[in-house]
Amino acid sequence: MRQYSYRHDFKRGLSFPNGIDVTPDGQFIYVTNVLDDSVSVMRTSDNSLVTVLTNKIFDGPIARGRFIVNAPPPAPSPIPTLSEWGLISMVALLGIVGFMVMRRRKVAA
C-alpha cells in the first residue's frame, strides 16, 4: 500500500471542509464541505479545484467528515407465476374436480 504525504492550504472553493480522502493512485483529493453539503474534487498535481459535487443525497448526517448516504432501494425481485400452459392445465384440473364434486352431489341427492 502506497502512502502519500500532501500538504496544501485549501482556502478557496471550500465551505467548512470537514473530511478528506485521497484516491488510491494519489491523483485526486475529495474534501467534504459541511456547510453547503457538497464534495470538492481537487487535483494533486497542480492543486486545482476540478469540480464541486452537489447533490441532495449529501444533505444528511455526517460521520467523521464523510457524508452518510442512504443505500438505494433493493431491485424488485420477480414473483413466480404460472406460464400460459400451466394456467390452462390448472383451469382444466379444477374444472374436472368441480365437475366430479357436482356429479357426486346429484347422485347423493
- Write down the pTM of the prediction: 0.45
Question: Which residue has better confidence, 61 or 47?
Answer: 47
Query: pLDDT value at position 57?
Result: 61
pLDDT in tens, 41-52: 888 888 888 888
- The residue with greater pLDDT, 63 or 105, is 105
Residue 1 class from Cβ within 10 Å (0-12 exposed, 13-18 middle, 19+ buried)?
exposed
Q: How does 83-96 read in b/e, with b if 16+ C-beta sit within 10 Å?
A: eeeeeeeeeeeeee
SS3 80: coil
Helix and strand numbers, DSSP H then E, in the chain: 1, 6
